[in-house]
């Protein structure tokens, strides 16, 4: 019953029982032993909120700014590949829901709807484009040009995937993009780029990326990108203060703390654990974003208190999408907005700026 779905976990449970195995394995999995996959959530639950009382919370707002642009909520949807496996409308449904909410939508390079189709579906949405760098650099250059032309307002370079993580279920069941779908952004560039067929052994995704993505990507490529586009650049997948500092020094617009939803290097910290050192390192020189394991408004509140400017999530939107397309994503986003607003009220905050670092501590604080 649709009205029984009152939290993001309810949508996840529904998706687990309704999605075909190929899609569910792909969406759900983390890398290897999935240590970081559990940690992303556990680390958030180990933080405690220190609420303030008697603060008149009649007039509250969740509005903030992302890369200088006004948004209604301090959250958005991370880039996730191949969304039409969840619902026939895929990325189009997702972006429309985000546009309605007034958040940020990041489109994956490996999407099943094209840069232009997504722009047309939600012309006024705050849309950013996520980049993987192909060995054939002209492919990446063309993607950047198309994103610029279609009104995307930032490029999100994923830096944690020089090779792809080993997601065991995908390897076991030889993940493939269903044959009626295509990697829409690569259309016209040959079958080897638009199809992701079953590999001879293992995951079709890993075969695709090993063949086509450039493993040599390094800091000079950040400059390479900056040399031919004026779009703000976000580095997604940073987990250390050292890399955050290098990015800030190169003048990126934001550092995006992420472990790729625990799908790349297993054993890395939860994103929420890595966030504070990154915030300290960049010292306000650029914005800081975070994703990984966020599924409640209280989770979002905690990251904002620890210094994130925006919080993103991938899977929760996919669970909504697989439930009922645009409506499902809208419901998931609304749940998160209402939960965040309620958390703010109960913690004594009227605005995102009121959510300060003294309001969140690690649970060890109380056993001292």
**Which residues of this protein are in contact with ligand FNR, per CB under 6 A?**
26-27, 40, 78-81, 108, 110, 130, 158, 236, 258, 260-261, 263, 291-294, 313-315
CA distance 98 to 122: 9
> Which residue's CB atom is positioned nearest to ligand FNR?
314
Q: Are the CB atoms for 272 and 290 separated by under 8 Å?
A: yes
CA distance 169 to 29: 7
For the question of residue 323 being annotated catalytic, the response is no
Name the minimum Å distance from CB 39 to ligand FNR. 11
Is 79 annotated among the ligand-binding residues? yes
CA distance 19 to 63: 34
Is 315 annotated among the ligand-binding residues? yes
Closer to ligand FNR by Cβ: residue 108 or 113: 108
Closer to ligand FNR by Cβ: residue 155 or 349: 155
Closer to ligand FNR by Cβ: residue 261 or 325: 261
Is 46 annotated among the ligand-binding residues? no
Name the minimum Å distance from CB 136 to ligand FNR. 18
- Out of 59, 260, 323, 362, the active site residue is 260
Q: Are the CB atoms for 259 and 268 separated by under 8 Å?
A: yes
Q: Which two tokens stand for residue 349?
A: 């905050």
Q: Are the CB atoms for 30 and 167 separated by under 8 Å?
A: yes
Please report, for residues 8, 71, 115, 310, 318, the alpha-carbon distance to residue 124 in angstroms, rounded to integers and kept in the order given: 26, 12, 14, 19, 22
Q: Are the CB atoms for 11 and 316 separated by under 8 Å?
A: yes
Name the minimum Å distance from CB 260 to ligand FNR. 5
CA distance 256 to 239: 9
Is 215 annotated among the ligand-binding residues? no
Please report, for residues 28, 51, 71, 94, 332, the alpha-carbon distance to residue 88 in angstroms, rounded to integers and kept in the order given: 19, 43, 28, 11, 18
Q: Are the CB atoms for 147 and 231 separated by under 8 Å?
A: yes
Closer to ligand FNR by Cβ: residue 315 or 331: 315
Closer to ligand FNR by Cβ: residue 132 or 349: 132
Is 132 annotated among the ligand-binding residues? yes
Name the minimum Å distance from CB 311 to ligand FNR. 9
Is 276 annotated among the ligand-binding residues? no
Name the minimum Å distance from CB 77 to ligand FNR. 9
Q: Which two tokens stand for residue 322?
A: 């697989």
Annotated binding site: 26, 79-81, 108, 130, 132, 158, 167, 236, 258, 260, 263, 314-315
The residues that are catalytic are: 260
Q: Which residues are annotated as a binding site for glyoxylate?
A: 26, 132, 167, 260, 263
Instruction: Tell me the binding residues for FMN.
Output: 79-81, 108, 130, 158, 236, 258, 314-315
């Amino acid at each position: 019953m649709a009205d029984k779905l009152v939290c993001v976990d309810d949508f996840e449970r529904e998706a687990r029982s309704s999605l075909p195995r190929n899609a569910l394995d792909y969406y759900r999995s983390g890398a290897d032993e999935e240590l970081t996959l559990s940690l992303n959530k556990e680390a958030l639950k180990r933080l405690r909120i220190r609420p303030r009382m008697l603060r008149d919370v009649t007039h509250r707002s969740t509005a903030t700014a992302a890369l200088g642009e006004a948004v209604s909520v301090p959250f958005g949807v991370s880039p996730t590949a191949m969304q039409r496996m969840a619902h026939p409308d895929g990325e189009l449904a997702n972006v429309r829901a985000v546009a309605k909410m007034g958040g940020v939508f990041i489109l994956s390079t490996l999407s099943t709807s094209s840069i232009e189709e997504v722009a047309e579906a939600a012309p006024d949405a705050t849309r950013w484009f996520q980049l993987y760098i192909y060995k054939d650099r002209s492919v990446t250059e063309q993607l950047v040009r198309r994103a610029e032309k279609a009104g995307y307002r930032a490029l999100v370079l994923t830096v944690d995937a020089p090779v792809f993580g080993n997601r065991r279920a995908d390897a076991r069941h030889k993940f493939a993009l269903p044959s009626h779908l295509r990697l829409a952004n690569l259309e016209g560039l040959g079958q080897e780029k638009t199809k992701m067929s079953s590999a001879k052994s293992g995951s079709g995704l890993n075969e695709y990326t090993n063949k086509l993505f450039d493993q040599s990507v390094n800091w000079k490529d950040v400059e390479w990108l900056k040399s031919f586009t004026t779009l703000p650049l976000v580095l997604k997948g940073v987990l250390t203060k050292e890399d955050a500092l290098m990015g800030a020094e190169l003048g990126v617009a934001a550092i995006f703390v992420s472990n790729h939803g625990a799908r790349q290097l297993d054993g890395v910290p939860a994103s929420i654990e890595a966030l504070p050192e990154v915030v300290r390192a960049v010292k306000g020189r650029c914005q800081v974003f975070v994703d990984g394991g966020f599924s409640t408004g209280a989770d979002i509140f905690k990251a904002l208190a620890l210094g994130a400017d925006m919080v993103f999530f991938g899977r929760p939107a996919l669970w909504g999408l697989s439930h009922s397309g645009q409506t499902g994503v809208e419901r998931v986003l609304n749940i998160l907005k209402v939960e965040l607003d309620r958390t703010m009220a109960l913690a004594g905050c009227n605005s995102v700026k009121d959510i300060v670092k003294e309001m969140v501590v690690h649970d060890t604080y109380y056993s001292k």
